[in-house]
Chains A and B, each alone.
Chain A
Amino acid sequence: MRIRALLIACLVAASSLMLAWLGVRGAMYAVIVGIVVLMIFVAVSSLWLSLYAWHTPTNMQQVGFAEPLPPKHGFSVIVPVRGAGMEIIGPTVSALVAQDHPDLEILMVVSGDDDETTRASAEVLRDMHPDLIKVINVTGKKNKPLALMAALPHASKEIVGIIDAESIAARSLLTLVDTTFQRSRADVVQAGVQLMNYRDSWYSLINCMEYYRWFKSRLHWHALRKFITLGGNTVFFKRDALLAVGAWDTNNLAEDCEIGVRLSVAGYEVAVAYDPAHITMESTPDSPRRLVRQRIRWMQGFLQTYRKGVWRELDTWPMRTLARYTLLMPTAQAVFGLLLPLSVAAAIWLKVPTILALFTFVPLAAFLVTLAADMVALREFGEDFGLKVGIRDQLRLVLGTFPYQCLLSIAAIGAVVRQKRGKDNWELTVQAGQHHKGLELATAKGSA
Chain B
Amino acid sequence: MTACESPSYVPALPRWERYKLTTRFLSRIPRGTFVILGLLVVTGLVHGLHMTVTPALVTTDDEGTYVAQAWAILHQGRLAHYTYWYDHPPLGWIQIAGWAWLTHAFERYDSAIAVGREFMLVMKLASVALMYVVSRRLGMNRVFASLAVLLFALTPLGLYYQRLTFLDNIAVTWLLAAFALALSPRHKTSAILASALCFGVAVLTKETILVIAPALIYQLLQATRNHTGRMARVLWFATLTFTGLFYVGMALIKHELLPGAGHVDLLTAIRWQLFDRASSGSIFDPTSAASVIAHSWVGLDPWVLGLGLIAALPALTVPRLRPVSLVLLIQVAFMLRPGGYLPQPYLIAMVPFAALVIAGVLHFLWDISSGDNARNQQRRKIPYTRVSYVEAAAKVPALALVVALVLTVAPVWEPRLRSLTTDDRNVSVRQFTEWMEHNVPTTRPDGRKVRIVVSDAMWVDLKQRGYDPDWYFKMDLDPEVQAKYPRGWQDVDYLIYTNELNETAKSESKQDMRTTLEARKHGTLVAQFGSQSESIWIYKVTG
**Is B296 in contact with chain A by the CB < 8 A criterion?**
no
With A347-B253, A357-B253 in contact, is A57–B226 under 8 Å at CB? yes
A380–B228 Cα distance when bound, in Å, is: 10
Q: Is the interface of A mostly helix, strand, loop or mixed?
A: helix
Q: Is B448 an interface residue (CB 8 A)?
A: no
Beyond the given A56-B228, A57-B187, please list 16 additional residue pairs across the A-B interface where CB-CB is below 8 A.
A48-B190, A51-B189, A54-B228, A55-B190, A56-B186, A57-B227, A57-B228, A354-B250, A358-B246, A361-B246, A365-B245, A369-B239, A373-B238, A375-B234, A376-B234, A380-B231
Residues of A within 8 A of B226 (CB): 57
CB neighbours of A57 from chain B (8 A):
187, 226-229
Chain A CB within 8 A of B235 CB: yes
Q: Is B188 touching A372 in the complex (CB atoms < 8 A)? A: no
Please tell me if B254 contacts chain A, counting CB pairs below 8 Å: yes
| Contact between chains at B238 and A368 (CB < 8 Å) | yes
A58, B186: Cβ atoms closer than 8 Å: yes
Give chain A nearest CB distance to B280 CB in angstroms.
Answer: 34
Query: Residues of A at under 8 Å CB distance from B?
Result: 48, 51, 53-61, 347-348, 354, 357-358, 361, 365, 368-369, 372-373, 375-377, 379-380
Q: Which of B188, B189, B235 has the most CB of A within 10 A?
A: B189
Q: Does B462 contact A (CB under 8 A)?
A: no
Total number of residue pairs linking A and B with CB closer than 8 Å:
65
| A54 pairs with B232, CB closer than 8 A | yes
A-B contact pairs, 15 of them (CB 8 A): A51-B189, A55-B188, A56-B187, A347-B253, A354-B253, A358-B246, A358-B249, A361-B249, A368-B238, A369-B238, A373-B235, A373-B238, A375-B234, A377-B231, A380-B231
User: A365 to B228, Cβ gap below 8 A?
Assistant: no
A51–B245 CA distance with the chains assembled, in angstroms: 24
Task: Give Cα A60–Cα B238 distance, bound, in whole angstroms.
Answer: 21
Residues from chain B with a CB closer than 8 A to the CB of A348 are 253
On whether the beta carbons of B250 and A380 are closer than 8 Å, the reply is no
Closest 10 CB pairs of A and B: A372-B238, A365-B242, A57-B226, A60-B227, A54-B231, A57-B227, A54-B228, A357-B253, A369-B238, A376-B234
Q: Is the interface of B mostly helix, strand, loop or mixed?
A: helix
B-side residues, CB < 8 A to A, are: 186-190, 226-232, 234-235, 237-239, 242, 245-246, 249-250, 253-254
- A41 CB to nearest chain B CB (Å): 16
Bound-state Cα–Cα, A364 to B253, Å: 15
**Which of B186, B235, B245: most chain A Cβ within 10 A?**
B235
List residues of chain A with CB within 8 A of the CB of B229: 57
Q: Which residues of chain A are within 8 angstroms of B239 by Cβ–Cβ distance?
A: 369
- Cα separation A55 to B231 with both chains bound (whole Å): 9
Q: How far is the CB of B77 from chain A (nearest CB, A)?
A: 9
B228 touches A358 (CB 8 A): no
**Whole-angstrom distance between the Cβ of B12 and the nearest chain A Cβ:** 36
**With contact pairs A361-B249, A368-B242 given, residues A51 and B231 touching in the complex (Cβ less than 8 Å):** yes
- Checking B190, B237, B253 against A358 with a beta-carbon cut-off of 8 angstroms, the contacting residue is B253
Contact partner of B188 (CB less than 8 A), chosen from A56, A368, A369, is A56
What residue of chain A has the Cβ atom nearest to residue B78's Cβ? Answer: A354
> Per a CB cutoff under 8 Å, which of A48, A358, A368, A376 touches B231?
A376
**Complex interface: chain B residues within 8 A of A354 (CB):** 250, 253-254
How near does chain A come to B373, taking the closest CB pair, in angstroms?
Answer: 30
Q: Which among A55, A369, A372 is the interface contact of B189 at CB below 8 angstroms?
A: A55
Which one of B228, B230, B234, B238 contacts A55 once the chains associate, using CB atoms below 8 Å? B228
Most buried by A among B187, B228, B230: B228
CA distance A376 to B233 in the complex (A): 10
C-alpha gap A60/B242 in the complex (Å) = 26
Given A55-B188, A354-B254, A358-B253: A373 and B245 interface contact (C-beta under 8 Å)? no
User: Which of the residues A61, A357, A375 comes within 8 Å of B227, measured between beta carbons?
Assistant: A61
- Bound complex: CA of A256 vs CA of B231, how far in Å? 31
B242 to A: closest C-beta gap in Å: 4
Tell me which residues across on chain A come within 8 A of B189, comparing CB atoms: 51, 54-56
- Whose C-beta in chain B lies nearest to the C-beta of A58? B186
Closest to A348 in B: B253
- Evaluate contact between B249 and A372: CB separation under 8 angstroms: no
Query: Which residue of the partner chain, among B186, B187, B235, B254, contacts A369 with CB atoms under 8 Å?
Result: B235
Contact A369 B242 (CB under 8 A): yes
Task: List A contacts of B186 (CB < 8 A).
Answer: 56, 58
Cα distance A121–B186 in the bound complex, in angstroms: 54
A377 to B189, CA, bound (A): 14
Residues of chain A within 8 A of B234, CB atoms compared: 372-373, 375-376
Contacts of A54 in B (CB 8 A): 189, 228, 231-232
User: For A56, what are the chain B residues with a Cβ–Cβ distance below 8 Å?
Assistant: 186-189, 228
Residues of A contacting B245 in the complex (Cβ-Cβ under 8 angstroms): 365
A276 to chain B, nearest CB (A): 14
User: A45 vs B379: C-alpha distance in the bound complex, in angstroms?
Assistant: 38
Closest to A368 in B: B242
Cα distance A361–B246 in the bound complex, in angstroms: 8
- For B237, what are the chain A residues with a Cβ–Cβ distance below 8 Å? 372
Min CB distance B269 to A, Å, is 17
Q: How far does the alpha carbon of A60 sit from the alpha carbon of B237 in the complex, in Å?
A: 21
Given the complex of chains A and B, what is the CA–CA distance between A357 and B253 in angstroms?
A: 7
Q: Which residue of A lies closest to B245 (CB)?
A: A365
Which B residues are CB-close (under 8 A) to A51?
189, 231
Docked pose: A57 CA to B254 CA in angstroms: 43
> Shortest distance in angstroms between B243's beta carbon and chain A's nearest beta carbon?
8
Most B CB atoms within 10 A — which of A48, A57, A368, A375? A57
Q: Give the complex CA separation of A54 and B228 in angstroms.
A: 5
* Min C-beta distance of B304 to chain A, whole Å: 36
Question: Within 8 Å CB of B227, what residues of A?
Answer: 57, 60-61
A369 to B246, CA, bound (A): 14
A213 to chain B, nearest CB (A): 11
Task: Closest A residue to B233 by CB, please name it.
Answer: A376
Bound together, the chains give a CA A72 to CA B230 distance in angstroms of 39
The distance in angstroms between the C-alpha atoms of A102 and B186, with both chains bound, is: 41
Please indicate which of the listed interface residues B186, B235, B253 has the most CB atoms of chain A within 10 Å of its own CB.
Answer: B253
B23 to chain A, nearest CB (A): 33
Q: Which of B186, B190, B232, B238 has the most CB of A within 10 A?
A: B238
- A55–B232 Cα distance when bound, in Å, is 9
CA distance A51 to B186 in the complex (A): 16
A49 to chain B, nearest CB (A): 12
User: What residue in chain A is nearest B254 (Cβ atoms)?
Assistant: A354
> What residues on A are CB-neighbors of B187 within 8 Å?
56-57
Give complex CA distance A58, B185 in Å: 12
Residues of B within 8 A of A357 (CB): 253
Chain B residues, CB < 8 A from A379: 230
Complex contacts, A347 vs chain B, CB 8 Å: 253
Contacts of B190 in A (CB 8 A): 48, 55
Residues of A within 8 A of B188 (CB): 55-56
